Amino acid sequence: DAKTTQPNSMESNEEEPVHLPCNHSTISGTDYIHWYRQLPSQGPEYVIHGLTSNVNNRMASLAIAEDRKSSTLILHRATLRDAAVYYCILIRLGDMRFGAGTRLTVKP
Amino acid sequence: DAMVIQNPRYQVTQFGKPVTLSCSQTLNHNVMYWYQQKSSQAPKLLFHYYDKDFNNEADTPDNFQSRRPNTSFCFLDIRSPGLGDAAMYLCATSSTSGVSVTQYFGPGTRLTVL
């Protein structure tokens, strides 16, 4: 299985940008990079995904390194509701394997 | 709103007493997944159905079984729950299986084993 490495935890101040890094040095050419987040007492929810190019949606931006061995999820203005565990996942052959994720704390 | 529903949200069972968790979806998705999430851990895939085709993960214990009687419903049966099976059980769906497909998760059922 392709493996991802994320910091265990990060802190941010409210209304500031947050950059959540993910390393995936063993990524293969057909692996998609997905990000999900899990708010307290809820199931995971989809945030964003990409293959090679940077991606933007209403929730976040995904910046993918040129060699695809790392990526960064960008929350442009963190709110208290963004406090969650963020999972960076490589999807190969349709199977999703969660890593440990990054617990994001947002301070008011 | 189209969604993934799990009932009950909290389930208490006794050691060794069979228990069934249910999941339903209004998304009309072909694929349904069951994950186990223990405290402070990431979700772990147990198995999934692509339509009626059942796909078991290699390390899923035989104690865990699943049924999908129709597109909308999927059940997780734990035949003889042990204390180590206490966890959050998450159901998810996707329209197809593939590398760019999004999964939609339910809120989970928290299982307590006494």
Q: Is residue A45 over pLDDT 80? A: yes
DSSP readout, A5-51? B--SEEEEETTS-EEEEEE-TT--TTPEEEEEEE-TTS--EEEEEES
Q: Is residue A29 over pLDDT 90? A: no
Q: CB of A3 within 8 Å of any CB in chain B? A: no
Q: Are B104 and A49 within 8 A, CB to CB?
A: no
- Tell which A residues from 34 to 73 touch B, by Cβ distance under 8 Å: 34, 36, 41-46, 49, 51
Q: How far apart (Å, rounded) are the C-alpha atoms in residues A105 and B45? A: 26
- Tell which A residues from 87 to 106 touch B, by Cβ distance under 8 Å: 87, 91-101
For tokens 């394997």, name the residue.
A97
Cα-Cα end-to-end distance for chain A? 38
Q: Identify the residue with better confidence: B107 or A95.
A: B107
- Write out pLDDT tens, residues B14-71: 999 999 999 999 999 999 999 999 998 999 999 999 999 999 999 999 999 999 999 9
Q: How far apart (Å, rounded) are the C-alpha atoms in residues A10 and A18? A: 9
